[in-house]
Amino acid sequence: DGGITQSPKYLFRKEGQNVTLSCEQNLNHDAMYWYRQDPGQGLRLIYYSQIVNDFQKGDIAEGYSVSREKKESFPLTVTSAQKNPTAFYLCASSIAWTGEREQYFGPGTRLTVT
């Protein structure tokens, strides 16, 4: 997990509340990603960012928002519009968007909404 921190590890929220998940990396990577993991479904891409001040929707962006104001930070907000927000959220980064570079993952945040 080295180099990427996610906080908090566990997060509990009431339905209807927005919540922001933190992701910070000190690897000097340009690209950052947010994934959602549900049992038996693998990882699904929510948003990604190739460079600072730029980000793109992934496969399941509805109900989520992000910002990339600093190279090392890529926070994810889960809004009340997300119909089923309870999941394990993983942040990742890579040196570059293209090419053969692998992604490095943070330890994840488990969000429970009741």
Partner 1 sequence: AQSVAQPEDQVNVAEGNPLTVKCTYSVSGNPYLFWYVQYPNRGLQFLLKYITGDNLVKGSYGFEAEFNKSQTSFHLKKPSALVSDSALYFCAVRIKDRGSTLGRLYFGRGTQLTVWP
Which chain residues interact with partner 1 by CB under 8 A? 1, 4, 6, 35, 40-45, 48, 50, 58, 88, 90, 92, 96-100, 102-108, 110
For 9-34, give the DSSP string.
SEEEE-TT--EEEEEEE-S--SEEEE
Nearer to partner 1, 3 or 63 (CB): 3
Closer of 43 and 63 to partner 1 (Cβ): 43
Contact between residue 9 and residue 90 where contact means Cβ atoms under 8 Å apart = no
> Cα separation of 64 and 27, whole Å?
25
**Shorter beta-carbon distance to partner 1: residue 58 or 63:** 58
Q: How far is the CB of 80 from partner 1 (least distance, A)?
A: 26
Least distance in angstroms from the C-beta of 91 to partner 1: 8
Start-to-end CA span in the chain (Å): 29
